[in-house]
Structure 1
Amino acid sequence: MAARRYPLPKRFQAALSEEAYARLRELNTRYGLGNNYLLTIMLERLDDFADPEKLDTAFKEFITQYGAPASGMSRNA
Structure 2
Amino acid sequence: MAKRYPLPKRFSAATSEKGYQALRELNEQYHFSNNYLLTILLENLDHYADKDKLDEIFKAFIEEYGQPAPHKMKSD
TM norm. shorter chain > 0.5? yes
Question: Shift in Å at residue 71 of structure 1?
Answer: 2.3
Q: Distance in 2 between matches of 1:11 and 1:71?
A: 20
Measure, in 1, the Cα distance between the counterparts of 2:31 and 2:70: 37
* Whole-Å separation in 2 of the counterparts to 1:15 and 1:61: 20
Q: CA RMSD in A?
A: 1.3
Kindly, what percent of the aligned residue pairs are identical? 60
Q: Does 1:43 align with 2:42?
A: yes
Any runs of at least 4 consecutive aligned residues in structure 1 with deviations exceeding 4 A, and if so which?
none
Structure 2 unaligned segments of length 5 or more: list them. none
* More relative contact order, 1 or 2 (CA 8 Å, 6+ apart): 1
Number of equivalences = 73
Letter in 2 for 1:9: P
Deviates more, 1:58-67 or 1:9-18: 9-18
Gaps of 5+ in 1: none
Alpha-carbon distance between aligned partners in 1 of 2:10 and 2:57, rounded to the nearest angstrom: 26
Q: Shift of the alpha carbon at 1:9?
A: 1.7
* Distance of 1:63 and 1:10 partners within structure 2: 28
Pair 1:26 & 2:14 matched:
no
1: CA distance, partners of 2:3 / 2:38:
18
Q: What letter is aligned with 1:35?
A: N
